[in-house]
Each structure stands twice: as C-alpha cells, then as structure tokens.
Chain A
Amino acid sequence: MNPISHVAIEAPAREKPRRQWLVYVVLGMVFGIVLVKSEVLSWFRIQEMFRFHAFHMYGIIGSALAVAAGSLAMLEHYRITALDGEPIGLPAKEMGRGYRYWIGGTIFGLGWALTGACPGPLFALIGSGVTVMSLAVVGAIAGTWLYGYLRPMLPH
C-alpha cells in the first residue's frame, strides 16, 4: 500500500472533530456573554418575572422564540442542510401520556424560581463569580441522577 494515500485519507478525519469542538466553545461563549449582558442569569430578574413586575424577561423569551420559529421556517422552506451536508431536523418529543411534561415541568419551575436560574445561567453564574452556584450544579447533577434511577417507577 502507498503510505502517502494513507496520510491523505486520515488527516481530514483527525482534524474535523477538533475544529468542531472549537466552534461550539465559541458559540457557547456568545451565549454566556448574552446571559450576563441581558441579566437573564440574575436571580433578581427571575423574581421580577414571576411577580409580573416587568416586561424584560417576557420580551427576551418571546423574541427569542419568534426568531427561532422564523429561522426554523426558513431552514425548512429552503431545505437548507447543515454545513457538512446533513439534512436538518429536530428530534420530536414523544407525548406519551404527557405526565412527564407537566409534572417534570412543575418540579423544574420550583427549582428555577428558587435558584433564580435555569441550567444555562446556573453554569454562567459560576463564570460570573457567584462560585457558590457550583453547589447548585452538583445538586442539579444529583437531581438528574435521581431521575435516571427512579425513571422506571415514574409515570411518563
């Protein structure tokens, strides 16, 4: 076998995952910056939202949703593929009996208001200097593990 053709075939395969890794880190950084600059990661903003005292959080979630829905419609309409040519699609959430969504959702909501953070902001808060949130992250990982353990017994 010719060793040169070997190199030519293997090189791109080795390089691709590394480059992708960086793309997601950079995208994550933009998200982290937005969470700080829009104050979405602030416990105070979440309190304000659940007390209906300001439009700020509703404006953010509402406009994010509108832009996301519009973008999805465009991607679908023009049949745009991912950069590597793969067809784009979001996994469908299975309805089942629906229990998991409203029960799980309500439990999540309790935690959202108590910590003042959903999972993204929970991690962003550590980066922003509220280091005690690392304990909340440990709690969230423990909570997820508990769900995995109890899953066969829970209604879905």
Chain B
Amino acid sequence: MEWEWVFQPWPWFVAGPIIGLFVPALLLAGNKPFGIASNLRHLCSAVAPGRVEFFRYDWRARGGWNLSFLCGIVLGAFVAVTWMGSADVAISARTREALTTLGLHDLTGMAPRELFGWPAVLTVKGFVSIVVGGVLVGFGAAYAGGCTSGHAITGLADRQLPSLLAVAGFFAGGLAATHWILPLVFLW
C-alpha cells in the first residue's frame, strides 16, 4: 500500500527535515520564532503573574500564537496515536539491555509505566522522573532562555553563540542525569 508508511514509525530523515521547516514556516506565517518553552512563561503570566516583573506583560498579544501552537501539539499527538497507528518504540538492543539492568521490566509504550503511570508518582523514582524532572525542565529552560526547539534548532540555525553554550549545557545535564542520577534513583 502506498500509504502504509503513514502508519509505520517515521525515520529520522523524514521527521528531522519536517521539524526544521517549522523555523521558516513560523517566520513566514507571522514572523514568529520557533520555540516551545516560551509558552511556560506565558502560562505563568496568564495564571499567576504575582508581583514578578518577568511575568508582567501582555501574554495574549505576545504568546497567543504560541499557545495556539501548543494546543495544536496536544491535538496532533492525540490524532497520531488514535488514527495513525502506534507500535512499541523500536529502541536498540543495547538500550533495552541497559534499561533492564537499571531495573525496568516493562519496555512497552511511549514511556515506561513503572515511572510514568499515575501510581508511580508516589514512588521515589516516579516522583523524581515526573515532578522533579518537570521542575528542572521549566526552571532550566526559563534560565537558559530557550529549550531544544528555541536553542538547538532555531538558535543554532541562526548561528547564535549563546545557543551553542546552552546546547552544550543540555547535553552535559542529560548525560549526568542518565549516567549518575538515574542509577541512584533506581536504588529505592
């Protein structure tokens, strides 16, 4: 079938270029910079700006487009898992082995249920993975002034030196969490 590929996982050389095209697409649509993390700031500004100067601005005017984009992401993900087929993630045999050694038993789904199911929130490893991880993502992205989309794709494509520093940090932190923190968390 010609359309069979839609229901299979997409290879990197299909997905990567499409993601890259969001940079020119958003610029053409309305001179908007591709970057998801700004939405976290807009949400703070909308929900609880308090007396914090960082959140005192017109979030509807500055972030309305990006929050619309964000709603689209949630909808698109729902559409993809509901109507476009889903398979277990085909990670490499070495990764399966490493994760089993780490202490995971169920390697199905998009994220391991032992860490990312509702009951897991009350375990140390689940709480660290979900809540502590979430706080670090939010704090780090705001501090660094961007996330993977804003720095690693948009910023680097625009040859901005600060983005290179940020991306080096992303990887340093990711390696530290994967190889040092995660094994510790699994001791509980």
Bound form: Cα–Cα A56–B98 in Å:
17
Contact A123 B73 (CB under 8 A): yes
Bound form: Cα–Cα A44–B91 in Å:
7
Chain A contact residues, majority secondary structure = helix
B residues sitting closer than 8 Å to A (CB atoms) are 9-34, 36-37, 39-41, 43-44, 47-48, 50, 52-55, 64-66, 68-81, 84, 86, 89-92, 94-95, 98-99, 107, 109-112, 115-118, 120-121, 128-149, 151-163, 165-179, 181-182
Contact A107 B74 (CB under 8 A): no
Contact A27 B29 (CB under 8 A): yes
Give the chain A neighbours of B145 by CB distance below 8 A.
93, 100-101, 104
Give the chain B neighbours of A110 by CB distance below 8 A.
133, 136, 140, 173-174, 176-177, 181
Q: Does A13 contact B (CB under 8 A)?
A: no
Bound form: Cα–Cα A40–B20 in Å:
14
Task: Write out, one digit per residue, whether chain A residues 42-58 have a CB within 8 A of any chain B CB (1) or not (0).
Answer: 11111111110111110
Give the chain B neighbours of A142 by CB distance below 8 A.
134-135, 138
Give the chain A neighbours of B139 by CB distance below 8 A.
104, 107-108, 111, 143-144, 146-147
Question: Count the A residues whose beta carbon is within 8 Å of the partner chain — how many?
Answer: 118
Contact B91 A48 (CB under 8 A): yes
Contact A139 B30 (CB under 8 A): no
**What distance in Å separates the Cβ of A155 from its nearest Cβ neighbour in chain B?**
10
Give the chain B neighbours of A51 by CB distance below 8 A.
94-95, 98, 178
Contact A136 B133 (CB under 8 A): yes
A residues sitting closer than 8 Å to B (CB atoms) are 17, 20-51, 53-57, 59-69, 71-72, 74-75, 80, 82-84, 86-95, 98, 100-120, 122-133, 135-149, 151, 154
Who on chain A is nearest to B151 by CB? A105
Residue contacts A-B, CB under 8 angstroms, 24 given: A27-B29, A32-B72, A36-B84, A47-B91, A63-B16, A65-B152, A66-B20, A67-B20, A68-B24, A68-B154, A69-B158, A106-B176, A107-B143, A107-B144, A110-B173, A113-B178, A124-B74, A127-B73, A130-B109, A130-B111, A139-B134, A145-B50, A149-B54, A151-B54
Given contacts A31-B73, A112-B174, A147-B54, 10 further A-B contacts (CB under 8 A): A35-B80, A44-B95, A60-B12, A93-B160, A104-B166, A111-B136, A123-B36, A127-B78, A144-B43, A146-B135
